[in-house]
Amino acid sequence: MKKQKKSPCRKRTVFSLLLSAGLSASLILGSPAFAEEAATDTAASSITTNQISGWPQGPEITSEAAVILEDSTGTTLYAKNMDEVLYPGSTVKIMTCLLALENSNLTDEVTMTATGVSGVTDGGANISAQLDEVFTMEQCLYAIMVASANDIALQVAEHVGGSVENFVAMMNTRAAQLGCTNTVFTNPTGLPDENQHTTAHDMALIMKAATENPSFSPIASANTYTIPATNVSGGARSLTSKFTMTNNSSDAYYQGCLGGKEGFTEASQSTLVCSAQRNDVTLICVILKGASGQTDDEAITLLDYGFSNFQLLTLGQDDFSLMSGGQVIVPAGASADSLTIQDTPAGDQVNRTYFYSGVQVGTAVMEPEQEQDTSLYTNGQANMEAAKAYSQSTSYVPYAVIGGVAFLILLLLFIKMIKIIKS
């Protein structure tokens, strides 16, 4: 039997049906409604904290990455692409300032060399420092944080590290110590470098350490600063900060803001790092790759979310003596009953970790309470009982006789004295 061949007409019909099905599918998938829904789902999933059961839903923002970190517990309250590697821009200067505070004195004299002066012409912000000009370290740090001065950042790096290269190595070492896992520094200024990068979470860890340094916030929160005339300059320099969240005359003013740093380069776009404190709660906010002019508004939105939706709890410790920690940050209205606990022995101590819906929200270091030594109490009781038994078994007659005799003797002496006086 001969095999029947398919006609060309039938082939064309099958092909047309397949083509129509493909076109229909592409139209459906490519429709604006579907695309919008897909984009919405992607944006929602980028806020990973919104996926935590029972966690307050965080706001949508346009910036590429952001994080809110609670200071005392290190708990992440809000995270959007917090581990995405991005350019830090001028927020690098927070690490520059922190290292200077940790490795120098505010009264140190910093003399400008060719290294620092090169920052006057590098295309970035500067205070027109001159060769051999002398500043105090305090003046330098205000120039870095208030005026974002690249010339001063370079000179501070050389002063502290011996060279800019050594200082950059110190920056990377310190970042690793703070727990940063995706940060590489190549300069102390934040000027564009394709190899210099960080994440929102890493920058939050750096800002947390800086905020905990008592000298940092007064510098980082200053709106203006005046450097008096130096050995070279003919007059004072008046510096004005572009960070407006601490300026009560600005629309971006945020009550309780402890200071921060903004930056912008073509590569990094707008970046902002700040901290704020209300009701004994300190929050760290980081925004990376944002739109110019929007990062401060988004920082305010995120800080409001953190302060309004979370609370600190101080927990009691049964059968333990608290050494450190013992605080947790939880959604507002939550109680200690909603927490789970994990204890890890560490020598004579116990490391306790608290979890809410699987998220670490606090830690504590404790030691078991020692059993009281009752031997002294027991011995004392025994002695008391023995004394009582002795006193009960002993006659009081001899003591009464002795007392009576003594009384008679005194009475006779008294009578004799009266007779002598009368005679």
Domains of the chain in sequence order? 65-310 (3.40.710.10), 315-368 (no CATH)
For the stretch 174-217, pLDDT in tens is 999 999 999 999 999 999 999 999 999 999 999 999 999 999 99
Q: What pLDDT, on a 0 to 100 scale, did the predictor assign at position 390?
A: 53
pTM for this one? 0.78
Identify the weakest region by mean pLDDT among 118-132, 218-232, 384-398: 384-398
The per-residue b/e assignment along 69-94, b for 16 or more CB within 10 angstroms, e otherwise, is: bbbbbbbbbbbbbbebebbbbbbbbb
Tell me the three state secondary structure of residue 357: coil
Q: What pLDDT, on a 0 to 100 scale, did the predictor assign at position 219?
A: 98
Is residue 25 pLDDT above 70, yes or no?
no
Q: What pLDDT, on a 0 to 100 scale, did the predictor assign at position 14?
A: 36
- Can you tell me the mean pLDDT for 126-144? 98
Q: What pLDDT, on a 0 to 100 scale, did the predictor assign at position 168?
A: 98
Is residue 8 pLDDT above 60, yes or no?
no
Q: What pLDDT, on a 0 to 100 scale, did the predictor assign at position 244?
A: 95
Element (H, E) at 208: helix 200-211
The count of residues in the chain is 423
Let me know the angle formed at the C-alpha of 114 by 111 and 119, rounded to the nearest 5 degrees.
Answer: 95
From residue 62, alpha-carbon distances to 65, 254, 271, 292, 293 in Å are: 9, 20, 13, 11, 12
Question: Residues 6 or more apart from 164 whose CB is under 8 A from it?
Answer: 115, 154, 157, 158, 187, 188
- In 3D, which of 94, 93, 89 has the Cα closest to residue 290? 89
| DSSP alpha helix (H) spans, 109-178 | 114-117, 137-147, 150-161, 164-177
Q: What pLDDT, on a 0 to 100 scale, did the predictor assign at position 7?
A: 41
Q: Which two tokens stand for residue 12?
A: 């064309």
Q: What phi and psi values does residue 5 have, to the nearest 5 degrees?
A: -90, 145
For the stretch 244-285, pLDDT in tens is 999 999 999 999 999 999 999 999 999 999 999 999 999 999
Cα gap 185→169, rounded to integer Å: 8
Is residue 302 pLDDT above 60, yes or no?
yes
- Can you tell me the mean pLDDT for 313-336? 89
Mean pLDDT of the chain: 86
Element (H, E) at 265: strand 257-265
pLDDT band at 63 (very low <50, low <70, confident <90, very high): very high
Q: Are 239 and 224 in contact (CB under 8 A)?
A: yes
pLDDT band at 413 (very low <50, low <70, confident <90, very high): confident
Q: Which two tokens stand for residue 112?
A: 């400008």
Q: Which phi-psi region, left, alpha or beta, contains residue 46 (left: φ > 0; alpha: ψ -120 to 50)?
A: alpha
For the stretch 367-398, pLDDT in tens is 887 655 555 555 656 666 765 665 565 555 55
